[in-house]
């Protein structure tokens, strides 16, 4: 049986990402690839990141796989639909079965099946994909209804959704992701060229035990399962042996969620002398001086500490369950230990006012992170935020040509106001940073402040439009 795994992300088509140039390998399908191989099913991985839709189509026509598994998320949805249309339009691929998995599928099952996906995998994909492939290959007896974690159309065109698959209890049972199936050097070279250093992504946990209203839990649910520290360090040792890598990026939602695991990880890194610089994401309430010291001792050079807003009112509306003072304290403490601190900011959340936005400016200046990212809030189907604002949608775009990122909804102010707010916050922080070196930045200071003032003035005009 010929099995092809791909993900439908084409870097060349993403102008924003080409500017940022921080591509990561598709770990999800590489885990599935490794698991299928471990169970006796060879497979191909078509890594689309540095390729093109045309080359993917040519590969499909040349190899005519029996099964195509496609990772599907918010960014790749439209390309996934494009791939499905191509496969279903080709006579030579009429026997090819398309299997979709990933975070975008759970809340759009019917739509994807209507657009001719053959099977939807819900939740973790390794065991489900294996059983589905075995059934398609004639090696598994029984009916499709016996395979947990899939949805499909029956012979009469009715949608069937089988029971949920139980989550993996022992994450260590999975083999390491099959990185050798992709040309990882393309990623390393892209990072090196644009940033001076390169990085490789690593996953140590699945799920998140927290309840932020805007965050999707479509694949792993509100759970927390983790590989042993020894297993993770084994993977680091393998990476170091096979690649010339400068740093690691841990993709986990809350890297320091378990203080016991953090201690074990730090001890194992030190015992085996395998320290590689890394960055990670965590929460302020899962940090303290001991944890920050462990981060430093295990190689962490940058930690991202989520806040999303500088207003406690907005943080509570998000159900973030963290105190803004904690966030500020941990950002400053990480910096005192020589670790770069980054944070995430979101504007335009339901209920946010002008005063909340300026509280965010104050928060950023008070905590003074080395880096921050900022975006306008948007609702992802299946999240509490989506349910909360669904009756306020301002857009009614065709599902097959849009994503949840295109959704706008009635907020305190209009969308333009929040775009201006982002501009204001960015310019205020550039001015704040420049003030620390007033001599070298003497000529830049007036211009930076002027840009902030102009953005604030434009915000005021948009605010008055609402009143009028």
* pLDDT tens digit sequence for 324-366: 999 999 999 999 999 999 999 999 999 999 999 999 999 999 9
pLDDT tens sequence across 150-194: 999 998 899 999 999 999 989 999 999 999 999 999 999 999 999
- Mean pLDDT value of segment 52-79: 97
Q: Is the pLDDT of residue 135 over 80?
A: yes
Strand partners, 346: 375
pLDDT on residue 468: 44
Element containing residue 305 per DSSP (H, E): strand 300-306
Give Cα separations from 292 to 56, 187, 201, 280, 296 (angstroms): 44, 29, 21, 12, 6
Please check the confidence at residue 459 and state whether its pLDDT lies above 70: yes
With 0-12 / 13-18 / 19 or more C-beta atoms within 10 angstroms meaning exposed / middle / buried, residue 246 is middle
Closest Cα partner for 344 from 301, 287, 295, 283?
A: 283
pLDDT in tens, 189-238: 999 999 999 999 999 999 999 999 999 988 988 889 999 999 999 999 99
What's the pLDDT score for residue 437?
Answer: 84
| Alpha-carbon span 426 to 448, nearest angstrom | 10
pLDDT given at position 442: 78
Do 199 and 247 contact (CB within 8 A), yes or no?
yes
Give the whole-angstrom CA distance, residue 396 versus residue 408.
Answer: 9
Partner residues linked to 240 by β-bridges:
none
Contacts of 342 (CB under 8 A, 6+ apart): 302, 303, 304, 305, 369, 370, 371, 372, 373
Backbone angles phi, psi at 192, to 5 degrees: -60, -40
**Alpha-carbon distance 198 to 200, whole Å?**
7
| Every domain of the chain and the residues it spans | 3-161, 197-372
When pLDDT is averaged across residues 251-256 and rounded to a whole number, the result is 96
**pLDDT tens-digit map of 373-396:** 999 999 999 999 999 999 999 988
Residue 443 has a pLDDT of 79
What is the structure's pLDDT at 223? 84
Q: Nearest Cα to 330, choosing from 387, 381, 286?
A: 286
- pLDDT value at residue 415: 93
Tell me the mean pLDDT in the region 16-33.
95
Is domain 197-372 annotated with CATH 3.20.20.70? yes
Minimum mean pLDDT range among 11-15, 89-93, 287-291: 11-15
DSSP string, 86-132: HHHH-GGGTTPEEEEESTTTGGGHHHHHHTT-SEEE-S--HHHHHHH
Q: What percent of the chain has pLDDT over 90?
A: 91
The CATH H-level superfamily of 3-161 is Cobalamin-binding domain (3.40.50.280)
Residue 115 has pLDDT above 80, yes or no: yes
The pLDDT confidence band at residue 466, using thresholds 50, 70 and 90, is low
Residues 6+ apart with CB under 8 A from 262: 255, 256, 291, 294, 295
Q: What is the pLDDT of residues 27-42, one digit of tens each?
A: 999 999 999 999 999 9
The average confidence (pLDDT) of the chain is: 95
Contacts of 325 (CB under 8 A, 6+ apart): none
């Amino acid at each position: 049986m010929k099995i092809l795994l791909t993900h439908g992300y084409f870097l060349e088509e993403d102008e924003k990402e080409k500017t940022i140039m921080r591509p990561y390998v598709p770990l999800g399908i590489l885990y599935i690839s490794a698991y299928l191989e471990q169970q006796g099913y060879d497979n191909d991985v078509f890594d689309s990141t540095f390729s093109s839709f045309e080359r993917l189509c040519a590969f499909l026509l040349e190899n005519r796989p029996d099964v195509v598994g496609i990772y599907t998320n918010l960014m790749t949805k439209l390309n996934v639909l494009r791939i499905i249309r191509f496969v279903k339009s080709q006579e030579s691929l009429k026997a090819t079965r398309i299997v979709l998995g990933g975070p975008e599928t759970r809340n759009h099952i019917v739509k994807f099946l209507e657009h001719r996906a053959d099977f939807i995998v819900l939740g973790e994909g390794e065991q489900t994909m294996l059983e589905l492939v075995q059934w398609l290959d004639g090696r598994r007896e029984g009916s499709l209804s016996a395979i947990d974690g899939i949805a499909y159309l029956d012979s009469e065109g009715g949608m069937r959704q089988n029971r949920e698959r139980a989550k993996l209890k022992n994450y260590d049972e999975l083999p390491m992701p099959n990185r050798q199936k992709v040309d990882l050097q393309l990623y390393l070279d892209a990072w090196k060229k644009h940033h001076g250093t390169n990085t490789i992504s690593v996953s140590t946990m699945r799920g998140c035990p927290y309840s932020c209203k805007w965050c999707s839990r479509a694949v792993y649910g509100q759970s927390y399962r983790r590989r042993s520290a020894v297993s993770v360090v084994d993977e680091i040792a393998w990476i170091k042996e096979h690649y010339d890598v400068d740093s690691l990026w841990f993709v986990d939602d809350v890297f320091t969620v378990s203080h016991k695991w953090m201690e074990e990880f730090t001890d194992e890194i030190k015992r085996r002398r395998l320290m590689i610089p890394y960055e990670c994401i965590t929460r302020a309430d899962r940090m303290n001086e001991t944890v920050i010291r462990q981060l430093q001792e295990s190689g962490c050079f940058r930690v991202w500490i989520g806040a999303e807003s500088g207003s406690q009112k907005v943080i509570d509306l998000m159900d973030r369950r963290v105190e803004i003072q904690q966030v500020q304290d941990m950002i400053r403490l990480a910096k005192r230990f020589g670790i770069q601190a980054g944070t995430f900011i979101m504007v335009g959340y339901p209920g946010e006012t002008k005063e909340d936005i300026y509280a965010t400016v104050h928060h950023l200046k008070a905590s003074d992170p080395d880096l921050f990212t900022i975006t306008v809030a948007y609702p992802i189907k299946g999240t509490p935020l989506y349910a909360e604002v669904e009756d306020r949608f301002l857009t009614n775009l065709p599902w097959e040509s849009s994503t949840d990122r295109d959704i706008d909804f009635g907020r305190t102010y209009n969308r333009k106001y929040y775009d201006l707010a982002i501009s204001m916050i960015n310019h205020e922080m550039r001015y704040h940073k420049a003030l620390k070196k007033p001599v070298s930045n003497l000529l830049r200071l007036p211009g930076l402040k002027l840009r902030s003032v102009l953005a604030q003035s434009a915000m005021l005009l948009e605010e008055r439009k609402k009143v009028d």
